[in-house]
Amino acid sequence: MEPRMNLNANQLGAKLGKRFYNVSLAIEQSTLPKPTQDLVMLRASQINGCGFCVDYHSKDAAAAGESAVRLSLVAAWRESTVFTEAERAALALAEEGTRLADAYQGVSDETWAQVRKHYDEDQITALVYLVAMINAANRLGVIVRTQGGSYEPGMFASTSS
């Protein structure tokens, strides 16, 4: 399967990509723990089948010190002992927020209560935006068939805002 296009290769794509990046940067700079952000982005990307995003977020998390065990178990987090209760709440929100078409009620009250138990208002705001943004990024990648495998950790670190 060949990539269909590079969304950043034209003026409009670059302009939109810069704004998309700035929202993502604000989330990254929030008080939501970076390991939690990485786990959420990886899990949503797995669900959505975005090869580039799975590649990107698993490699960045590993480069930041995340263990291979935890990265391997993200897809089976409910049946794993390596995640905190707060991470489990974030992963549940990520799954329910990603699988909206599969869950007619969207995010359950139980999941929302767990998120509120473990995170403050700013962190919840970052988490909700993170789930929305990674789902948007996954959809962009899947639509244009951006391939996984070539990402190198930190390769977008020099992207200017």
For residue range 119-139, list pLDDT tens digits in order: 999 999 999 999 999 999 999
Residue 156 has what pLDDT? 77
Q: How many C-beta neighbours within 10 Å does residue 27 have? A: 19
User: Stretch 75-88: mean pLDDT, rounded?
Assistant: 98
Q: 114 with 95: CB under 8 angstroms? A: no
How far is residue 69's CA from residue 80's CA, in Å, rounded to a whole number?
A: 10
Express each pLDDT in 21-64 by its tens digit.
Answer: 999 999 999 999 999 999 999 999 999 999 999 999 999 999 99
Domains annotated for the chain, with CATH where assigned, are 32-144 (1.20.1290.10)
Q: Is the pLDDT of residue 84 over 60?
A: yes
Residue 61 has what pLDDT? 97
Q: Record the tokens describing residue 35, joined without a space.
A: 């390991």
HEC string of the chain equals: CCCCCCCCCCHHHHHHHHHHHHHHHHHHCCCCCHHHHHHHHHHHHHHHCCHHHHHHHHHHHHHCCCCHHHHHHHHHHHHCCCCCHHHHHHHHHHHHHHCCCCCCCCCCHHHHHHHHHHCCHHHHHHHHHHHHHHHHHHHHHHHHCCCCCCCCCCCCCCCCC
Q: 73 with 82: CB under 8 angstroms? A: yes
Q: Record the tokens describing residue 50, joined without a space.
A: 């975005």
Residue 158 has what pLDDT? 56
